[in-house]
Structure 1
Amino acid sequence: MEINGSRGPPLSQLSSLQLQMGSMSGKSIHEFEDESLASPPLALPRKGLPMDGQHYGIVGQEWNFENLKSRLIKNLKIVIFTEKINILMPLGPAAIIVNHLTAHHGWVFLLSMLGIIPLAERLGFATEQLVFFTGPTVGGLLNATFGNATELIISIFALENGMIRIVQQSLLGSILSNMLLVLGCAFFSGGLVFYNKEQVFDKSAAVMNSGLLLMAVMGLLSPAVLYYTHTELHFGKSELALSRFTSCIMLVVYASYIFYQLKIQKGNHDHQNEAVGQNVESEDDEAPEISKMEAIIWLAFFTGWIAVLSEYLVQAIEGASIALKIPLAFISVILLPIVGNAAEHASAIMFAMKDKLDISLGVAIGSSTQIAMFGIPFCVIIGWIMGIPMDLNFQLFETATLFITVIVVAFMLQDGTSNYFKGLMLILCYLIVAASFYVHVDPQSIGEPPGV
């Protein structure tokens, strides 16, 4: 209103202002509109409209509830109802019901064992989903850790009940199962799919894992030889002290190995990121089906449920051996590891059939290395804390079987190639091991401390 007054700008300035306003009418007005649309909850309370602010809050809460409901239904559909093996999940609660109604150890053991199989497989699925958000380096460690969670949970419950031989044999069986059965099936399946060529893998990683497994054999062999040659300085004490000292050394070596792998894989991953086209193709092939938080929640749920069933499984194992007329050594070395390795078994075969043999090797040999260099010494230290004389004396028969297995697998991996015939040989070797433990009589009874 004061354009022509003393306070108004000159005509030249007015015309320039009009030109500026005209130039802003196309772009700046839209920007202001976008800003007002982007932050309505912040603007409305400042204008003194609490009812509108509350309205926005109510709408947000309703949308979040509906979103949460839809996400829950989608998660149940993806995690529970997509895989046919999940039809075995109700057998877990059935084992608990049978245990409280009849206390028939044979049925409780079978139902618990079958009920754990889909849980172990789904635990692997949740871990794979989490790998999408953590990257390949941390993801590989998570895969190996949660892949062996079932065996470690069963071992801790058995250790708590004083079943030292069950712990030793189940951990030994897990190593044998991964190295012979899981790796053999992966080689065999991949060899059949890619019949006209030899599949290749990283030979250096396989050699390093073989070296770690041989070191684990040395750690198990020393207490056993010390015991059977009766050359202990203090009978019954030197063997246990040596086992605990060796377990600490093995844990240090495994921690150093993880640190080394993290550094090496980080460098390799940065180098591989230069091949942009290949990375895009690999990312397009697979994508996470659930979010990071959902994967963590499912991991916690399946781990807890496996822990519950493992307690019933361990309590029924001795009675099941009598009721089913199956040797206890066969149950511990063969049956229990097959249950625990269900996730690794499926994953290794799947990756081998996609010609991703390095991942299959990492699943099978990596799990064996983790059990040998971490799982076994970890149980020794836990037993030390509990006051239970868990040691590394796995008896001469078991230790010799492990030593021969490591040598056979090391020879299979030395050239960095695989085919279906190598896989068949590993599977047949596992059948020999299974038959050996079926006729093997354990010299020690359950709950009897070694050296007695």
Structure 2
Amino acid sequence: MGSVNGRSDNEFEDESLVSPDTLARKSLGLDRGQHGTLSDAEQDFSVKYLKSQLFRSIKVVLFTAKINILMPCGPVAILINYLTANHAWVFFLSMLGIIPLAERLGFATEQLAFFTGPTVGGLLNATFGNATELIISIFALKSGMIRVVQQSLLGSILSNMLLVLGCAFFSGGIIFIKKEQVFNKAAAVVNSGLLLMAVMGLLFPAVLHYTHTEVQYGKSELALSRFSSCIMLVAYAAYLFFQLKNKNTHDPVHEGGSQHEGSLVDEEVAEISQWEAFIWLAILTACISVLSEYLVDALQGASVAWRIPVPFISVILLPIVGNAAEHASAIIFAMKDKLDISLGVAIGSSTQISMLGIPFCVVIGWIMGQPMDLNFQLFETATLFITVLVVAFMLQDGSSNYFKGLMLILCYLIVAASFYVHVDPASVEDKSPQG
């Protein structure tokens, strides 16, 4: 007992010795140690957090979409270009490599729109929605391939209006074969009006050229094209303002009303952060730019190797690559009875190309010293004019079915066959650059 008491007394005595000054000193030392440990822990935590965020972002962007299995085609195309310089394989693999990059670029733009609000989001969608076509066009302009630029942009409009919209109408009509699918007729009418305005902008320079009624041959046509392009850009800016300020005009037509809108909002959740979206936009745009340069350089060689006319490659093949993601999304939304979104993807993209993409390329060509104009030749201009009339006629009653979709797809096959046997009569590539 004594020893126990002694030990207990010593323990109590030891406890009394450590207080209060010793305890204070030990607590200060412990605090310093703890603060140091917490600081290291915080640093470790921040590093681990950044790594986890990085891996999560890479996983979401690069490994969630099945189409990303085509991404290795891009590096393989570059490798083949340096090893064998086989233009046919370089062109083919570059096309396949651009498809998933274009789809992921659209994904990053949608993610960024969650944080920027509807106004800036609309501008971002207008800017990046057709970024692939614009990047390819800029590299073609840089190489002086003006007809390739004109035909690829024209092909993008035709592809969206006939093939994409036709597939959406057809697939939606098959799924809802006993139900008539409807969409907002007011929004379709506005887009059809803008497309007809674009046809007007392309028609007058071509008519001016082929009727030989220019004041100054070669110069008046180019000056008219640049003036009309500026007017079309102003009109598209006004359209964006109108669309964003008058949202009730563009509301989806559904029987469900607010319930459908609520479910749509619930489904849409941002998967990556705002800064991650910015970084991925920059990375994907750079990758598309690199592959686009190889694609454009190999185009002529691929045309010779495959014995396929350059107009067919420019009007049919290149737009299908650039619009691959839009094709899939338009069909998926139509099969979910969200036809307004499908219409926005197809007709909205055509409007962007005709009123933003084409005038933008004319202005860029002006800056580069390239004589890029709105004279798309009579064959191409007539094709666009008839296509706009056919689609406007299909949209006038605000409803769709599988037969309308089938007609649009068959019209696109006629257009594709026409460009396969079409020889470009007068290439604008031979023109000398004018200021």
TM-score range, shorter chain: 0.7 to 0.9
Name the amino acid aligned to 1:124: G
2:384 matched to 1:392? no
**1:189 match:** 171
> Residue 305 of structure 1 corresponds to which residue in structure 2?
287
- Find the aligned partners of 1:192 and 1:126 in 2 and give their Cα distance: 31
148, 151, 171: which one pairs with 2:153? Answer: 171
Following TM superposition, by how much is the alpha carbon of 1:310 offset from its aligned partner in structure 2, in angstroms?
Answer: 0.1
TM-score, reference length from structure 1: 0.84
Report deviation, 1:124.
1.6
Q: 2:16 maps to what in 1?
A: none
Deviation at residue 251 of structure 1 after TM alignment: 0.8
Structure 1 CA distance, aligned partners of 2:29 and 2:270? 43
Letter in 1 for 2:349: S
> Gapped runs of 5+ residues in structure 2?
1-27
Q: State how many pairs are aligned.
A: 403
Report the Cα distance in structure 1 between the residues aligned to 2:195 and 2:426, rounded to whole angstroms: 26
User: How far has the Cα of 1:383 moved from its partner?
Assistant: 0.7
Matches for 1:349-360 after TM superposition, within 5 Å: 349-360=331-342
TM-fit CA distance, 1:278 = 5.3
Q: Which amino acid aligns with 2:268?
A: E
Q: Secondary structure at the match of 1:444?
A: coil
Paired amino acid for 2:49: N
Which residue number in structure 2 is paired with residue 415 of structure 1? 397
The aligned counterpart of 2:98 is: 116
* Offset at residue 51 of structure 1 (A): 4.8
Q: Which residue in 2 is equivalent to 1:3?
A: none
Cα distance between partner residues in 2 of 1:105 and 1:446: 23
Output the CA distance in 2 between the equivalents of 1:136 and 1:232: 44
Matches within 5 A, 1:321-340: 321-340=303-322
Aligned to 1:374: 356
> Paired residue for 2:137?
155
Structure 1 counterpart of 2:54: 72
* Partner Cα distance (1:268, 1:92) in 2: 39
Supply the distance in 2 between the matched residues of 1:285 and 1:170 (Cα, whole angstroms): 35
What pairs up with 1:269-348 in 2 under 5 angstroms? Answer: 279-348=261-330
- Aligned Cα root-mean-square deviation (Å): 2.3
Q: 1:49 to 1:209 in 2, by over 3 A?
A: same
Deviations 1:372-399 (A, max 9, x none): 0111111111111111111100000000
How far apart are the structure 1 equivalents of 2:345 and 2:117?
Answer: 16
Kept after mapping to 2: 8 A contact 1:144/1:366? no
Counterpart CA distance in 2 for 1:423 and 1:278 is 25
Query: 1:134 and 1:436 mapped to 2: Cα distance?
Result: 44
Q: Return the offset for 1:279.
A: 4.8
Q: Distance in 2 between matches of 1:54 and 1:106?
A: 62
Structure 1 Cα separation of the partners of residues 203 and 338 of structure 2 = 34
Residue 234 of structure 1 and its aligned partner are, at CA, apart by 0.7
Most deviating of 141-150 and 308-317: 141-150
1:130 to 1:54, Cα distance in 2 relative to 1, 3 A: same
The farther-off stretch of 276-285 and 113-122 is 276-285
Q: Work out whether 1:247 is the aligned partner of 2:195.
A: no
Shift of 1:209: 0.5
What TM-score results when the alignment is normalised by the length of structure 2?
0.88
Q: For residues 221 and 277 of structure 1, do their structure 2 counterparts lie closer, same or farther at Cα, with a shift above 3 Å needed? A: closer
What's the offset of the Cα at 1:155?
0.3
| Equivalent residues of 2:105, 2:281 under 8 A apart | yes
Match of 2:80 in 1: 98
Q: Report the more deviating stretch, 396-405 or 441-450.
A: 441-450
Secondary structure of the residue aligned to 2:429 is coil
**Residue 228 of structure 1 pairs with residue 215 of structure 2:** no
Relative to structure 1, is the Cα distance of residues 222 and 446 closer, same or farther in structure 2, using a 3 angstrom cutoff?
A: closer
Following superposition, the deviation at residue 276 of structure 1 comes to 7.0
Of 93-102 and 149-158, deviating more is: 93-102
| Conserved 8 A contact 1:178-1:364 | yes
Q: Secondary structure at the match of 1:80?
A: helix
Q: Residue 298 of structure 2 aligns to a residue in which SS? A: helix
**1:104-139 superposed Cα distances (whole Å, 9 cap, x missing partner):** 111111111111011111112222222333344543
Task: Look up the match of 2:10.
Answer: none
Alpha-carbon spacing, 1:432–1:108, altered in 2? closer, same or farther (3 Å): same
- Report the Cα distance in structure 2 between the residues aligned to 1:425 and 1:140, rounded to whole angstroms: 31
Cross-structure match for 2:25 = none
Alpha carbons 2:77, 2:93 under 8 Å: kept:
yes
TM-aligned CA deviation for residue 286 of structure 1: 3.3
Counterparts in 2 of 1:260 and 1:450: CA distance versus 1, 3 Å: farther
Q: How does 1:28-47 map to 2 (within 5 A)?
A: none
Q: For residue 14 of structure 2, what is the aligned residue in structure 1?
A: none
Distance in 1 separating the partners of 2:324 and 2:49 = 34
SS of 2:329's partner is helix
- SS in structure 1 opposite 2:213? coil
**Cα separation, partners in 2 of 1:359 and 1:139, compared to 1, 3 Å:** farther
User: How far is 1:198 from its partner?
Assistant: 1.1
Alignment partner of 2:238: what SS?
A: helix
| Gap change, CA 1:136 and 1:451, over 3 Å in 2 | closer
Measured in 2, the distance between the counterparts of 1:132 and 1:114 equals 29
- Contact 1:176 1:402 (8 Å CA) reproduced: yes
**What is the deviation of 1:68?**
1.8
**Which residue does the alignment assign to 2:201?**
219
1:261-276 equivalence runs, <5 A: 261-265=243-247
Give the gaps of 5 or more residues in structure 1: 1-45
The code of the aligned residue for 1:385 comes to: I
